[in-house]
Chains A and B, each alone.
Chain A
Amino acid sequence: MPTSPVPSALSGITAVGGSPASSPSVTGASLRSAITALSARSKATADNIANIATPGFLANRVQFEDALAQAAASGSRGSAGFEMLRSLEPTRIDGNNVNLDRETLTSIDTGLRYQLMLRAVDDRFSLLRASMRTSG
């Protein structure tokens, strides 16, 4: 999976997520992690857009690609988590640093990635179903 553009400056982690449950396969674990993290990212982006006029609001960022790539490379069947961080990019005069262009693009990008992951899950289910349907 290509990594999203890395933000220039981020503060400490404000939240971590992802379930510690393990899956029967590396693919299943990766898909589960990606869907959980993408869903968190779309919520964070919606939060940023809702707060575009809130004085003193710093944009939320969700990072998970590196952790997921590492977990997949090491063949781990546990879920890779995600981290929620706060952007430290320069703010406007009201102390807010949400950039609508960027958030809109992130929102579209995240929505498409989410649907892509769902399709991958769906394909795995179809495979399973097809193998069950085959009769001798």
Chain B
Amino acid sequence: MSMFSVLGVASSGVTVYRKWLDAVSDNISNMNTVRATSQDAFQARYVIAQAVDYGQGTGGAQVGGIALGSAEGRMVYSPDHPLADGEGYVRMPDIDLSSQMTQLIMAQRGYQANLSVVDRARDAYTAAVNLGRNS
């Protein structure tokens, strides 16, 4: 067990949630990204968390991979759009805003939980560092 290992574990958690927040904000900002029907739609990204060593050894979490949303998206009839095909359709991403907002809240809470672990660990380690000073 290395020195101050709790800080390393908690910061790995913070990193996972920050990446999740990045992915969600990217998904939301591209909700209305229009593509021509000949192209793939913008694909939402979903972060897959993974345990480092599954609790043995160093511990902590990491991003195990990214799952992509539907490339098909949904076809929207918009004949005035410059990217519309002959029949007047464009391709929009299939992103559900309520699901993204829910994930945003989950990622934010996870981020905060890990940061408060950092705070508490710092207090405990500070006490350990000051051992023997008060006499």
Contact = CB atoms under 8 A, between A and B. Distances in A.
Interface stretch (B26-34, B48-56, B69-77, B79-87): B48-56
Nearest to B106: A53
Nearest to B6: A46
Interface in A10-54: 14-15, 17, 39-40, 42-47, 49-54
A40 B124 CA distance: 13
Contacts of B54: 57
B110 interface: yes
A52 B113 contact: yes
A54 B49 contact: yes
Interface string A52-69: 111101001000000000
Contacts of A115: 123-124, 127
The dominant DSSP class at the A interface is helix
Contact of A43 (B1, B109, B134): B1
A35 B34 CA distance: 58
A79 B70 CA distance: 57
Interface in A97-126: 100, 103-104, 107-108, 111, 114-115, 118-119, 121-122, 125-126
B124 A50 contact: no
B127 A114 contact: yes
A66 to B, nearest CB: 21
B10 A49 contact: yes
B56 A14 contact: yes
B16 interface: yes
Contacts of B124: 42, 111, 114-115
Contact of B10 (A14, A50, A121): A50
A107 B113 CA distance: 11
10 nearest CB pairs, A to B:
A50-B13, A126-B135, A47-B59, A46-B9, A50-B61, A54-B49, A111-B120, A115-B127, A46-B6, A111-B124
Interface of A: 14-15, 17, 39-40, 42-47, 49-55, 57, 60, 84, 86, 100, 103-104, 107-108, 111, 114-115, 118-119, 121-122, 125-126, 129-130
